[in-house]
Structure 1
Amino acid sequence: MITRLTAAERALRDAIKPGAKVDHSAGGATIRAFVLQEVLLDDRAPCRSLVVRDAKVVDALDLEAGTIGYPVEFVGCAFAGEPNVEQAKLFGLYLTGCRLPGLSGAQVDVAHNLELVGCDCSGLVDLIGARVHGQLLLTGSRLANPAGHALAADGMKVYQDVKFSGGFRAESPVRMIGARIGGQFDCDGAHFLKAGEVALDLKGAVIDERVYWRDGFLVEGEVRVADARLRGGLDCTGAVFRHPAAVALRASGVVVDSDVRFRGASVEGPADFTGCDVTGMLDLTGGRFSSPGETALDLARARVRQNMICRSGFEVRGRVLLAGADIGGSLWCEGGHVENSTDTALDATGLVVHRDLHLGHRRSASGAGDDGFHAEGAVVLSGACVEGDLDCAGGRFTNPAGESITAIGLTVERDLLMSDGFVADGVVDLAGAEVHGCLVWSGGRFTNRSRAIRADRAEVGHSAKLDGLHADGPVLMRGMRIAGNLDIADARISDDETALVLEGTTVRGRLRVGFTTKPAGGVDLRYASAGQLDDRDCKWPDRLRLTEFVYKALPVNGLSRAVRVQCLRGGAEEYVPQVYLQLAKVYEAAGKHDDAKHVLIAGQDAGRRAGRGVRGAIDRALGFVLKWTVGYGYRPLWVLYWVAALTVVGAVAAAVAHPDGFRRAKADLDVGFEPVLYTLDLLLPVVNLRQRELWVPVGWVLWGSSVFTALGWVLAICLVTGLGKAFKREL
């Protein structure tokens, strides 16, 4: 029996009516805790519900291990001591607008709701191991514990929703490690303020429905959801995370069975999503992540089963790490901005994207677009695999001191586009890449002067298009394999040494080269091959290296033979017979036999000019004779023109010199002198027309006859040599 009660305490006891809904106001009076305790634990005449208003509860209310079978609510009450409900079994506990120095509720079991709404708590709220079969509401409350945690709820299980919304404010750490929430976790507008520490710890927690951190949600300190499971998704639209001195958001290993949204969110400090698994989409559009000089957004080994969206407004100051990540849909970064100018801006080494990867600009149906993706610092895509298109059209990649894009060993199942406003201020390295569709650099701008593009050993399944490409440095495409066409029309490559290097490259289709402005640097086609060389209207540079360049056809209305021969001569450091033989072979295959012979003669000319020293001088002299007599064997009938011309000259000279310049070999021989036959007898060494035997030259005619005889032997030797070369070629 309660004795010596105050008037306020007696009024409270008298208000209790069995089976009634009791709503009692203390009017600001003081009620001792043990009195309230006996009222609450008295099960002899329980009421249906109890509301206590405006009471001052002195001492500590101790309900440990007790049982209260009806809902209890305190409204506007002030507790001088920390209420203790540890291991108690409560129907429902509601504290609204109360002030309390803490709450001890470890392993409490609440059949319905546990609510601290609009409360001001200056100590620890201990809910470790608690069981709440309804909702846990801390809406509008302020929790502050200078000595430690504001809320400790490790292992807590709430079967319905948890709400920290409506202006909730925690000025000390909130710890909910391993908690299990069967409904939503709503923190819209909540503030967690503990800079330098873990402000909100949900490590290993399981939340069955959606997590809402929106509409003014603010954390100053670290948020930890590492290894948690969020079955309903995570919505951080407009949230603010501030912890620039250390990790702001630690979500490594988190599993989310729906979408994750950071639209318009701001994260100051590293955000760690290493190894996370998101079943839905990851939407970072408009999100701002800042950790200059460090990894601002870490998605290494992350798995996103649907799309990852980082469109306009997405900004990162620091590194974005996507190494080893797996994106089940598309990765859209149109309009995003990543800035880490002193190091790597985006590291996507080994990234797998099962659809498209967009690092450019987005076009609407009206044709309007955003500003395009912009990376200040290196973008690394080495070893990545994109199963759709890799579209960088309109993107800007800035890293003047090094490589703007490093994509060594990249695999793209469809098209790789670096066109339509694409700008790379730094080296673009695609060495060893595999593009199963088209490689398009049309209209792209590559400004690095030391090396604009390196695509050595890259493989292209269809065509490569460089139309309208503008490069301020050399374009290196050594050892490439292109299954379709390679088009380099209207390209501008500014380099004083070697503008374009296609050494060892194989183009199975057409190689279309159309420099409208002659490149200042050379073009290297050594050991390359193409199904067709289409260079109509092309202005080849002065330095053109063609050793072992093989092509099967030329355009019908292409460059003239004279221009092509000039190209073969231009810039050659040494005589290479193969380049002339290749061009002649193509002319022969096209039925242009005369053009083929002119090219072969030009090749012999080049070889003759290439000779050096005494041997070279001899070869040049012999070659000169062979060229103008039998065309190096390619024009053996030219010797007949020489014979005819010399016959006319010799016959005229012999006719003038006869009879004073000749005497009969036999005085009694009655044979007339025939100037033409005499000349032919001199010029044809193996033919005997008997004119030389019958008429003996004297004086200056003797010397002239000797000259004609020598010329005859020279022509005969040239004819035999030319015919020998001709037969040798036929064999």
Structure 2
Amino acid sequence: MQITELTPAERRVLEAFPRGAGVDFRASGDEDPRTGASWGPDRTVRAEVLRALLLEGPAEPGQIAGLKLKGARITGKLHLKYGTVEHPVQLRACWFDRRPNLHGAQLRDLKLSDSVLPGLTAGALSVDGSLRINCCRFTGPVRLAGAQIARSLFLNSARLGTTEPAGADPAASRPGAGQDDLGPDEYDDPGEPILQLNHAVVGSDIWAAGLVAHGGIRLNGASVEGLVNLEDAELSAPGATALHAETLAVGTDVRAKRLRAEGRVNLSGARIPRQLDLAYARLATPDGQALRATSCVIGELWLREAVPVRGTVNLRRAQIDLLHVPPSVWPGTVRLDGLTYRVLAPHLPAAERLPLLEREAGGYVPFAYEQLTAAYRTVGDEAAARTVQLAKLRRRRRTLPRYARIWGHLQDATVGYGFRPMRAAGWLLALLVTGALAFGFRPPAPLKADEAPQFNAVFYTLDLLLPIIGFGQESAFAPRGGYQWLSYVLIVTGWVLATTTAAGVSRSLRRQ
């Protein structure tokens, strides 16, 4: 194409480019770029003209050349694959009829905010500054896999993908529809994520507050030096993965307050040193895992005031310093085997935390009880720690053979497996009172009347109950009839109490 073939609109762009001046084709500042298909020749610019300017455009001495357009209708394909652009590029509130191809390109700075595009192919893109696509509308996938962005990526309030009624042709309503010369990169795989940032490197932050995505977001292996902000975002991928961020590494936080995710949120292997904030979030995958964060390392995980999760929460082998999840948020099925945490918030009685451990998909998991015990001991709540240990032994008892369960019930009823030692004292006191009253009412006959000491009902009962200590009463008197059977009951009960108490106390001491 020769430079003399420019239209009046393109001539305006050419004249402004060497000085880095802006060209605004809009009739008003609040014009909706979704109506761009109806814009006339007076604001239409061919993509090949823009390509020629960006790669070979003139520059005035003492000026910084740059492409700055607003409200343009860009026709054709902006093809900058593997190209090097030394000028800043701003194409704001523009309407594209074809998907730009920036794969492997090197740019100084790129702004596409408020524009409408059929997608973006920019894998391995390198941007020295920031990439801004705030408030953009993409009807097709945004491919940024392997991109290198020196500063920040801005996706605030962007809308990705479309929701078409059943039976409709999605291609019929998007820019670029009906064209016969679409390149291979402009055809979409129905199963591909709508936003692809896997293995991307972002030198500062990803800002995506208010993002709406109809389709999955992929951040696998991405590295973000700062934070990822997904506050108020809406991610919709029913029956699939809404946010796929395995081995994501961030420098500070992942902020996702009020996130609404219909589909799995997968953070397996992620490294989030400060906070994963899902306060007020809505996570829903009714027939699968709503949140999967296995083998990840997180400073603080917050689900404060979140809507009860619909679907399984899988935190196996995760390492979390602070876990702030109210009991009401947990779903009916969890996977917590190997999960380690130091502090639980808010601090609640053990009775309110223990039901969660009954929801473990794998059944009885001893480590989960030990971890909860350690968390209570970290904050100095020893009574709650003992309650958890007692619950663990009761839960374990259900997995044992019948004969072992009987012995367990006996230890539980008498001394609470050693965690309730006062129960033994209560049983002994009750038996002592019973025996003292019974033998006091009808003292047993002495074996040798001339050698027997004076009968004492209390010490006689103690002689029967305590297998080690002797007061000389049991060997001097012999009850008869029903009282003899009572003495047998007291002897057997005393031995049982002594044995279970010793076993329980020994178990408790071993743990401590």
Whether these two folds match at TM > 0.5 is yes
Q: Which amino acid aligns with 1:333?
A: L
For normalisation by structure 1, the TM-score amounts to 0.59
Asked whether the 8 Å contact 1:272–1:299 carries over to 2, the reply is yes
Following superposition of structure 1 onto structure 2, how do residues 127-166 of structure 1 map, counting pairs within 5 Å? none
Structure 2 CA distance for partners of 1:274 and 1:641, relative to 1, 3 Å:
farther
Asked whether the 8 Å contact 1:503–1:528 carries over to 2, the reply is yes
For 1:338, the equivalent position in structure 2 comes to 117
2:497 to 715, 718, 725: 715
For 1:491, the equivalent position in structure 2 comes to 281
Following superposition of structure 1 onto structure 2, how do residues 41-80 of structure 1 map, counting pairs within 5 Å? none
2:421 to 632, 636, 645: 636
1:414 aligns with 2:204: yes
Aligned-residue offset at 1:305: 2.1
Asked whether the 8 Å contact 1:514–1:538 carries over to 2, the reply is no
How far apart are the structure 1 equivalents of 2:42 and 2:136? Answer: 17
Structure 2 CA distance for partners of 1:274 and 1:724, relative to 1, 3 Å:
farther
Structure (1/2) with the larger strand percentage: 1
Structure 2 CA distance for partners of 1:724 and 1:236, relative to 1, 3 Å:
closer
Structure 2 CA distance for partners of 1:515 and 1:494, relative to 1, 3 Å:
farther
1:544 to 316, 326, 334: 334
SS state at 1:650 partner: helix
Count of residue pairs brought into register by the alignment: 460
SS state at 1:266 partner: strand
Aligned-residue offset at 1:536: 4.8
Asked whether the 8 Å contact 2:10–2:49 carries over to 1, the reply is no
SS state at 2:142 partner: strand
How far apart are the structure 1 equivalents of 2:43 and 2:236? Answer: 34
SS state at 1:552 partner: strand
Aligned-residue offset at 1:711: 1.1
Asked whether the 8 Å contact 1:466–1:491 carries over to 2, the reply is yes
Structure (1/2) with the larger helix percentage: 2
For 1:369, the equivalent position in structure 2 comes to none
For 2:11, the equivalent position in structure 1 comes to 214
Aligned-residue offset at 1:399: 6.0
How far apart are the structure 1 equivalents of 2:24 and 2:261? Answer: 42
How far apart are the structure 2 equivalents of 1:492 and 1:238? Answer: 41
How far apart are the structure 2 equivalents of 1:607 and 1:315? Answer: 65
For 1:311, the equivalent position in structure 2 comes to 92
For 1:648, the equivalent position in structure 2 comes to 433
How far apart are the structure 2 equivalents of 1:265 and 1:305? Answer: 24
Cα displacement string for residues 150-171 of structure 1 (whole angstroms, at most 9, x for unaligned residues): xxxxxxxxxxxxxxxxxxxxxx
Structure 2 CA distance for partners of 1:482 and 1:638, relative to 1, 3 Å:
same
Aligned-residue offset at 1:535: 2.6
Following superposition of structure 1 onto structure 2, how do residues 434-473 of structure 1 map, counting pairs within 5 Å? 434-449=223-238, 450-473=240-263
1:377 aligns with 2:140: yes
SS state at 2:98 partner: strand
Give unpaired runs (5+ residues) of structure 2. Answer: 26-40, 60-64, 164-189
Aligned-residue offset at 1:516: 3.5
Aligned-residue offset at 1:270: 11
For 1:511, the equivalent position in structure 2 comes to 301
2:123 to 349, 354, 360: 349
Following superposition of structure 1 onto structure 2, how do residues 184-203 of structure 1 map, counting pairs within 5 Å? none
Give unpaired runs (5+ residues) of structure 1. Answer: 1-173, 177-184, 191-211, 218-230, 240-261, 340-344, 361-371
How far apart are the structure 2 equivalents of 1:465 and 1:189? Answer: 47
Q: Which amino acid aligns with 2:303?
A: V
How far apart are the structure 2 equivalents of 1:413 and 1:324? Answer: 18
Q: What is the aligned-residue RMSD (CA, Å)? A: 3.0
Q: Which amino acid aligns with 2:488?
A: S
Aligned-residue offset at 1:380: 1.0
Cα displacement string for residues 610-643 of structure 1 (whole angstroms, at most 9, x for unaligned residues): x1xxx43233222222222222223334322221
1:667 aligns with 2:464: no
For 1:704, the equivalent position in structure 2 comes to 486
Structure 2 CA distance for partners of 1:214 and 1:535, relative to 1, 3 Å:
same
SS state at 2:81 partner: coil
Aligned-residue offset at 1:286: 3.4
Asked whether the 8 Å contact 1:359–1:392 carries over to 2, the reply is yes
Larger Rg: 1
> What percentage of residue pairs aligned between the two structures are identical?
28
For 1:257, the equivalent position in structure 2 comes to none
Asked whether the 8 Å contact 1:355–1:387 carries over to 2, the reply is yes
Asked whether the 8 Å contact 1:537–1:558 carries over to 2, the reply is no
